[in-house]
Amino acid sequence: MPNAFCAAIILAAGASSRLGQPKQLLTIDGESLLRRTSRLALEGSFSPVVVVLGSHPEQFESQLHGLDVHTVWNQVWQDGMASSLKCGLEALEALGPAPSNLLILVCDQPKLTLPVLQALLHEHQSSGAQITASSYSGARGVPAIFTQAIFPQLASLRGDEGARRVIAHHQDRVETVDFPGGADDIDTPDDLQHSDLRSK
């Protein structure tokens, strides 16, 4: 049964200009990163799950067929990640009462697993922290869970600022969970060539 304790926003609006093709459509075992990330959020009992699309919205939305997610199109996605986060928060507000906690995800972390998401939720519930972030390569970042008290700060971000800025601002209120491989990303064709990912 879905857990109303924590909603999720998946940021998937970018055009991946340096890569030359949408990262969202790269596949692992025949499953696109976009669909895989959305599926893992659902399997982790996060609800509701909002997926923010921007570039190529129809093409990306087709990847989510059959999944119980809510898609929203950020028409100003080129303004940066902050605009997509704000768009996702507005979509959550429109769906009903604000959730008490929120998981923020990106769809370009190919090493993401269900146990990582479950560990984040368990740590967040048991510690009572305002923010529970992933830890990788000496940094704290997403996926991360935020309490409702932090939502206004997430909504006030601008440009290419993301959740990591809020995490850094509240270092004394953050608990962390190790995410092995969390820093692995595919930004260039060379990165793709040396990865386990394939073009759609």
- Whether 66 is covered by a domain: the verdict is yes
Burial of 42 (0-12, 13-18, 19+ CB in 10 A): middle
Range of the domain at 116: 6-193
**∠ CA 114-119-124, rounded to 5°:** 130
If you average pLDDT over residues 132-146, what whole number do you get? 96
> 10-62, pLDDT tens digit by residue?
999 987 666 667 888 888 889 999 999 999 999 999 999 999 999 877 788 89
Burial of 35 (0-12, 13-18, 19+ CB in 10 A): buried
- Whether 126 is covered by a domain: the verdict is yes
- Whether 199 is covered by a domain: the verdict is no
If you average pLDDT over residues 180-185, what whole number do you get? 89
pTM of the model: 0.93
- CATH number, domain containing residue 138: 3.90.550.10
Helix axes 33-43, 114-127, angle to 10 degrees: 40
- Whether 143 is covered by a domain: the verdict is yes
> 63-101, pLDDT tens digit by residue?
999 999 999 999 999 999 999 999 999 999 999 888 999
- Whether 33 is covered by a domain: the verdict is yes
Q: What is the pLDDT of residue 19?
A: 65
- Whether 184 is covered by a domain: the verdict is yes
Q: Hey, which residues does 10 pair with through a beta bridge? A: 51, 105
> 185-200, pLDDT tens digit by residue?
777 667 667 677 677 6
35: tokens are 């669909």
Give helix then strand counts, H and E, for the chain: 7, 9
- Whether 198 is covered by a domain: the verdict is no
The total number of structural domains that make up the chain: 1
DSSP label at 75?
T
Q: What is the pLDDT of residue 31?
A: 94
If you average pLDDT over residues 137-148, what whole number do you get? 95
Strand order in the sheet with 131-136: 70-73, 49-53, 6-12, 101-106, 139-147, 131-136, 174-178
Q: What is the pLDDT of residue 189?
A: 62
If you average pLDDT over residues 173-184, what whole number do you get? 94
Q: What is the pLDDT of residue 2?
A: 45
